[in-house]
């Protein structure tokens, strides 16, 4: 099976609701991904997966230019302290950081053009982020390959972003934990907790919960 972080978390939560909490092992194309489930203080079942070891690559100038045109963004819209990269933790995601929350909120892109670029480069989503603080980020993930404008929660991109921060030396310390708020601008808010170990060869831990389709 391909690796999709939040789908893996949702599957683990659904399994735990039926059979009880514990640890599951998913054999994905990227490698073995282990997911542990537990019951939180609020009574909801949560799951934490540990990704395969992440890595990042530079994004080609031509690809970045094409990506920005498809998004309707300019170079002035970018946060210079979080440079564009392509990040991997089981799937590839360009990481593009907005200079302002307003820029992130105003998502109106060319789905056909972006989808064509993503198919050529084998990108799963585009991870658009805005840094509120060292431990709080906001994200939107255009998802043309999935046939939708935007994904409300993207565990694989969250893990890839954790690896991106570690490679840049920007992961929060001590502890390496930070929070990603995703889906707010589309009315489907989600909260993803990411933990980044110091070991550069280790996977990234991503924790979240799931709700049934049609649930609040």
- Read off φ and ψ for residue 47, nearest 5 degrees: -135, 145
- How large is the average pLDDT for residues 66-70? 98
pLDDT at residue number 30 = 67
- How large is the average pLDDT for residues 136-140? 98
Buried b (16+ CB within 10 A) or exposed e, 126-162: bbbbbbeeeeebbbbbbbbeeeeebbbbbbbbbbbbb
pLDDT at residue number 22 = 74
> Of 93, 79, 71, which is closest to residue 158 (Cα–Cα)?
93
pLDDT at residue number 38 = 72
pLDDT at residue number 2 = 44
- How large is the average pLDDT for residues 66-85? 98
Residue pair 157/165 in contact (Cβ under 8 Å)? The answer is no
Percent of the chain with pLDDT over 70: 89
Residue 8 has pLDDT above 80, yes or no: no
pLDDT at residue number 1 = 38
Residue 69 has pLDDT above 90, yes or no: yes
Residue 195 has pLDDT above 60, yes or no: yes
What topology is assigned to 55-199 in CATH? Diaminopimelate Epimerase; Chain A, domain 1 (3.10.310)
DSSP at 98:
B
């Amino acid at each position: 099976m391909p690796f999709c972080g939040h789908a893996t978390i949702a599957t683990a939560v659904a399994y735990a609701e039926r059979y009880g909490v514990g640890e599951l092992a998913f054999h994905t194309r990227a490698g073995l991904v282990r997911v542990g489930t537990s019951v939180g203080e609020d009574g909801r079942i949560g799951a934490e997966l540990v990704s395969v070891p992440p890595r990042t690559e530079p994004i080609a100038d031509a690809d970045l230019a094409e990506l920005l045109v498809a998004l309707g963004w300019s170079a002035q819209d970018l946060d210079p302290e979080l440079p564009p990269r392509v990040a991997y933790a089981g799937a590839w995601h360009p990481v593009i950081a907005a200079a302002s929350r307003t820029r992130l909120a105003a998502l109106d892109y060319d789905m056909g053009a972006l989808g064509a670029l993503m198919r050529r480069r084998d990108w799963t989503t585009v991870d658009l982020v805005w840094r509120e603080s060292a431990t709080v980020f906001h994200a939107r993930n255009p998802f043309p390959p999935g046939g939708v404008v935007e994904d409300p929660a993207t565990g694989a991109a969250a893990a890839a972003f954790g690896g991106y921060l570690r490679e840049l030396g920007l992961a929060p310390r001590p502890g390496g934990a930070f929070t990603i708020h995703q889906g707010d601008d589309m009315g489907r808010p989600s909260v993803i907790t990411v933990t980044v170990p110091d070991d550069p060869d280790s996977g990234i831990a991503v924790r979240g919960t799931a709700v049934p389709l049609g649930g609040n």
